[in-house]
Amino acid sequence: MRKLTLNLFFVITALITVVSLAGAEDAILKPYVLAESMPGTIDKKLADVKTALGQQGLQVVGEYAPYKGAHVIVVSSDALKKSAEKSDFGGYGAVQRISLTEAGPDLQISYTNPLYMAQVYRMKDSLSDIAGELEKALGKKTEFGSKDGLKASKLRKYHYMVMMPYFTDQVKLATYGSQEEALKTVEANLAAKKGGTLKVFRIDLPNKKESLFGVGLSEGDGADATVMKVTDLGDTKHTAHLPYDLLVSNGTVYMLHGKFRIASSFPDLTMGTFMKISGAPSAIEDKLEMVAGEK
């Protein structure tokens, strides 16, 4: 009788696990979370936001104002870094972005949805613990960035449409003899602000030869303000899309294809709107190639 009970227990446990995994794959996710919207300004709220993040163990690794009325804070943590080390090109998931945007009389505080980003970057962890920390720090009113959202299973193989790039279609910008040489070159070119670039942050993964940079862009068709002026037209702002990523892994400098990076942050973008920024993906690549020091 005891053996039968144990067998039944194991069967039920297995079924619960299968159902849970299926549920996770079928979860509908959106790219951003609106934490709060209220009257106010960035100057009056910025310090409070950073304090709240720190109280949840989230370390501010960089911040910048991409254009007037917008401020982006980038955070990481030991847990995020450990998760990032588990998968190929996982470094892209080593940070989360928080934005403060002045929209009319209101100040919107939003952040990238870790659950969404974990799927887009094909990470092994769901980042549900990070999502919980951000919610505790800042709150959660609603998810946004896609009217209907996307299934987690679709996000893991996301591309905008046929013939458009996937996450695995990394753009290789430059290759060096060592990780140290690659990092030294990138740091020097960012310090020189080549192509109107700005170093926003750098994260090093301690157990993997991989470092992630956040790069602000102020010139050309791919400039932060230029792209967002065309794409970010909704009432709730996608400012946490910024900055762009540059990954140095084992001596090679990579970037996410611009068409993937923009589309995954704006999955409801119409082709008509996409065509208005048709020059942005190649322009972003040109600027990041300057930073990479392509020979």
What is the model's pLDDT at position 23?
A: 47
Average pLDDT of the residues in 117-125: 98
Residue 161 structure tokens: 């449409």
Q: Is 108 a residue whose pLDDT tops 90?
A: yes
**Integer Cα distance of 103 and 164 in angstroms:** 32
Domain 28-157+164-292 of CATH type 3.40.50.300: no
Q: What is the token pair recorded at 223?
A: 């400039």
Which residues have CB under 8 Å from 127's CB, separation 6+?
A: 80, 83, 93, 114, 115, 117, 118
* pLDDT at 11 > cutoff 70: no
Is the pLDDT reported for residue 135 higher than 80?
yes
- Chain centroid to CA 139: 19
Token pair in block for residue 50: 């950073």
Above 80 in pLDDT, residue 13? Answer: no
Summarize the confidence of residues 239-260 as an average pLDDT.
98
SS3 58: coil
Of all residues in the chain, what percent carry a pLDDT higher than 90? Answer: 90
Closest by Cα among 173, 196, 171 to 185:
173
Beta bridge partners of 244: 215
Domain ranges for the chain, please list them: 28-157+164-292
Q: Sign (positive/negative) of CA torsion 23, 24, 26, 31?
A: positive
Q: How large is the average pLDDT for residues 243-270?
A: 97
Mapped onto helix, strand or coil, the DSSP state of residue 186 is helix
Terminal-to-terminal C-alpha distance of the chain: 73
Confidence of residue 4 (pLDDT cuts 50, 70, 90): very low
- Range scoring the smallest mean pLDDT among 24-28, 70-74, 147-151, 174-178: 24-28
Q: Residue 196's closest CA among 265, 284, 260, 261?
A: 284
Task: Enumerate the β-bridge partners of residue 63.
Answer: 73
The whole-chain average pLDDT of the chain stands at 93
Per-residue model confidence (pLDDT) at position 26? 82
Region 114-131 average pLDDT: 98
Q: What is the mean pLDDT of residues 26-44?
A: 96
User: What pLDDT is attached to residue 42?
Assistant: 98
Query: What integer is the mean pLDDT of 171-189?
Result: 98
